[in-house]
Amino acid sequence: MKDLLSVAVLGSTGYVGLELVKILIRHPNFQIKFLGCENSPSKDISQFDQNIVIDTLPKLDLNNNFDPNKYDLVFLSLPHGVSHTFVKSYHKKIKIIDLSADFRLDSNDLYSEYYNNDHTCPELLDQFIYGLPEINKNITNTNFDIAVPGCYPTSILIPLIPLLEKNLIKSDSIIIDSKSGYSGAGKKFDKSNIKNKLEFNFYNYNTNEHRHICEIQQELDKHSNQKVFFSFNPHILPIYRGMMST
């Protein structure tokens, strides 16, 4: 039997953090020992999701109280622009899996352009591997930390990269049509829009301007060894969750 890995989750009360906690609870090799939050210390995480009712989970603590020397692995479920400030302090002290956008891009200039934010540690960008296991199959067998891909890129890259690598499709005119539920906007999404704007409506947004374009472009070019030309048209569906790309 493998030794259990001691795991911490920072930003555990957001949509991504809560889903991550549910996955980790079911994993036979992980034991959650720290649950970080922004402003709800000493509460049970079940107060944020009633589907999480495991008595052995620790109570919430502030993200800033996390000590990287006490655990084997930390998941950062923090917003972009926040995650890299923690990484700067934790790098080389603990294995990091970052679920934000802060370390997905190879270029600091692209990050600043698409995310309107200055990176606090651009020198660490090359210390992260793009964590798409269906494509990068050896990501857990390296000394690199892991940057988890974005939602749209995941749904797009998994089917497209193998086709491009085997020259089964042309790279000069790819049309990507994606649809997402509104939970992708995070907890700060104004849910009154569901009644005022979204109810029964299906609409596109940020056509060919979405911030995930640079991430999609980077990985398609990298794996096909050529410049890939595509259009990207994302849509919002009046549903809570789900995503499909064609």
Point out the residues that are catalytic. 151
Q: What are the helix (H) ranges across the chain?
A: 15-26, 83-90, 108-115, 151-165, 192-193, 213-224
CA distances (Å), origin 236, targets 153, 200, 201, 206, 210: 16, 11, 8, 11, 13
The upper half-sphere exposure of residue 105, i.e. CA atoms within 13 Å in the direction of its Cβ, equals 24
Angstrom distance (rounded) from CA 18 to CA 48: 8
Angstrom distance (rounded) from CA 103 to CA 149: 9
